């Protein structure tokens, strides 16, 4: 959440302005629909903390029908990777926090890369390994201290296999590593985090890897719905907020959050590391005290975000560098702990029907066999069978999972 953020609001638009905005919205809609036919440049988080999700083979069919070209995992599930062989989809794979400390051992890191990455290349386009997720959000000092050595060991394993330049090594951070984020130009990391972030930035610079950040404007709205304008967090027309130092105007909170991270990195001497959004999303449902968790707002947030991505927009600070975003998440995950919102970030329900309408169109292939029969087979063989059936024209009657404007 953006600490201390105080977004401004604008006066209601005049009739001529409303007409311009309507025409602009129609143009943007056409751009998104045209882009979806050519392949979307967004990434999507494929979480699996659920007991009712479709098989990876069916998920592969769904994502390819939408022409989604980038997927982020929180592990390196061999069933998922096998289901996407030779599809051209890029993958971010992950090492969980519970395994980070073990990766400090170079032999363990080498073994992990050999087992979870090397066998799938080049058929699976693994382009990044995340070592841990939001490590600095917790209180585990040993984990924090082990993060960078683990990243270095994994990177050295990647280099030893000749994969440098093909597979990046990084980690994903929560926005609460920020001590200050308003105005964006005054962005600064928490003092207690700088001890870890400074050498980590040095590593990312050397390895030419991105700085990943999980940004959720929803959290800011949820915490103070009376003060945070919905228009500002949902990318809707508003007067925006002008940074008093740079005079740059921000019409949405996400871009302000990104630029505050750039400012924080610059304060530590780095302008050579790119910021990428490893997670952002909006829940379609929440507990009674979770303001704004509705399908309507979720659809507006994701839909407007997709339009800006397809316009290849950059932030006010870096207008020529299009934002790189992984949306959270593909499915609602019914076993996630925490408030109800945690289980309702998905674009889709597990049966393949859309949770809300954002203009994407996709199809979840039907189950060809009983669950028990499919479970008895490996994902790679199932993927091969489905591929063969497609070539023979034998997959028919797909279950539609429409996301239309």
Tell me: pLDDT of 168 over 90. Answer: yes
Q: How many whole angstroms separate alpha carbon 360 and alpha carbon 59?
A: 15
Question: What pLDDT does residue 377 have?
Answer: 44
**C-alpha angle with apex 195: 189 to 201, nearest 5 degrees?**
70
CA-CA-CA-CA torsion sign (101, 106, 107, 109): positive
Better-scored residue on pLDDT, 5 or 192: 192
Q: What is the pLDDT of residue 264?
A: 98
Asked if residues 393 and 322 have their Cβ atoms less than 8 Å apart, the reply is: no
Q: What average pLDDT does this structure show over 195-221?
A: 98
CA distance readout (Å), 283 to 19, 221, 299, 327, 343: 30, 12, 9, 12, 8
337-395 pLDDT per residue, tens: 999 999 999 999 999 999 999 988 789 999 864 344 444 444 444 444 444 433 333 33
Q: Kindly state the average pLDDT of the residues 308-330.
A: 96
Write down the pLDDT at residue 368.
60
Please enumerate in sequence order all residues whose Cβ is within 8 A of that of 58, keeping only pairs 6 or more positions apart, or say none. Answer: 352, 364, 365, 366, 367
Tell me the pLDDT band of 40, cut-offs 50, 70 and 90: low
Looking at residues 67-73, what average pLDDT do you find? 95
pLDDT at 56 over 60: yes
Q: What is the reported pLDDT for 41?
A: 77
Q: Is the pLDDT of residue 309 over 80?
A: yes
What is the structure's pLDDT at 125? Answer: 96
User: pLDDT per residue over 102-153, tens digit each?
Assistant: 999 999 999 999 999 999 999 999 999 999 999 999 899 999 999 999 999 9
Over residues 246-301, the pLDDT tens digits come to 999 999 999 999 999 999 999 999 999 999 999 999 999 999 999 999 999 999 99
- Topology of domain 38-174+209-216+273-348 in CATH is TIM Barrel (3.20.20)
Q: Are strands 125-133 and 168-174 parallel, antiparallel or unpaired?
A: parallel
Residue 16 has pLDDT above 50, yes or no: no
Mean of the per-residue pLDDT values for the chain?
Answer: 86
pLDDT at 196: 98
Torsion of CA 155, 156, 160, 162, to 10 degrees: 30
Higher per-residue confidence, 390 vs 9? 390
At 39, the pLDDT band (50, 70, 90 cuts) reads low
pLDDT band at 404 (very low <50, low <70, confident <90, very high): very low
pLDDT > 90: percent of the chain: 78
238 pLDDT tier (thresholds 50, 70, 90):
very high
Tokens of 222: 């949820």
Of the two residues 369 and 45, the one the predictor is more confident about is: 45
pLDDT of 361: 79
Integer Cα distance of 254 and 310 in angstroms = 16
Mean pLDDT in residue range 176-198: 97
Residues with catalytic roles: 134, 279
Q: How many C-alpha atoms does 333 have within 13 Å on its Cβ side? A: 16
Give the C-alpha separation, 184 to 253, whole Å.
10
């Amino acid at each position: 959440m953006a600490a201390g953020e105080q977004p401004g609001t604008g006066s209601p638009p005049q009739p001529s302005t409303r007409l311009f905005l309507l025409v602009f919205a129609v143009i943007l809609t056409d751009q998104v629909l045209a882009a979806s036919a050519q392949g979307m440049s967004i990434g999507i988080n494929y979480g699996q903390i659920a007991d009712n999700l479709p098989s990876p083979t069916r998920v592969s069919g769904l994502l390819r029908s939408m022409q989604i070209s980038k997927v982020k995992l929180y592990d390196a599930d061999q069933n998922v990777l096998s289901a996407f062989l030779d599809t051209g989809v890029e993958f971010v794979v992950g090492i969980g926090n519970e395994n980070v400390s073990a990766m400090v051992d170079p032999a363990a890191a080498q073994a992990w890369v050999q087992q979870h990455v090397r066998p799938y290349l080049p058929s699976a386009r693994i382009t990044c390994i995340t070592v841990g997720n939001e490590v600095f959000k917790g209180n585990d000092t040993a984990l924090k201290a082990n993060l960078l050595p683990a990243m270095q060991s994994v990177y050295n394993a990647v280099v030893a296999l000749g994969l440098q330049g093909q597979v990046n090594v990084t980690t994903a951070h929560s926005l609460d590593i920020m001590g200050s984020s308003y105005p964006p130009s005054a962005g600064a990391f928490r003092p207690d985090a700088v001890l870890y972030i400074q050498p980590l930035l040095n590593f990312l610079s050397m390895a030419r890897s991105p700085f990943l950040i999980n940004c959720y404007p929803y959290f800011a709205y949820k915490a103070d719905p009376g003060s945070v304008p919905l228009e500002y967090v949902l990318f809707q027309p508003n007067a925006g907020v002008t940074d008093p130092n740079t005079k740059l105007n921000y019409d949405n909170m996400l871009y302000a959050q990104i630029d505050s991270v750039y400012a924080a990195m610059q304060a530590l001497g780095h302008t050579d590391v790119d910021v990428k959004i490893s997670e952002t999303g909006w829940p379609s449902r929440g507990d009674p005290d979770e303001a704004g968790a509705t399908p309507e707002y979720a659809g507006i947030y994701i839909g407007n975000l997709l339009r800006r991505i397809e316009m290849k927009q950059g932030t006010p600070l870096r207008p020529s560098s299009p934002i790189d975003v992984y949306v959270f998440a593909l499915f609602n995950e019914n076993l996630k702990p925490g408030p109800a919102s945690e289980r309702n970030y998905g674009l889709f329900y597990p049966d393949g029907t859309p949770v809300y309408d954002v203009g994407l169109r996709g199809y979840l292939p039907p189950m060809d066999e009983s669950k028990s029969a499919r479970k008895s087979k490996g994902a790679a063989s199932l993927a091969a069978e489905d591929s063969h059936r497609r070539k023979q024209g034998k997959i028919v009657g797909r279950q539609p999972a429409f996301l239309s404007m």
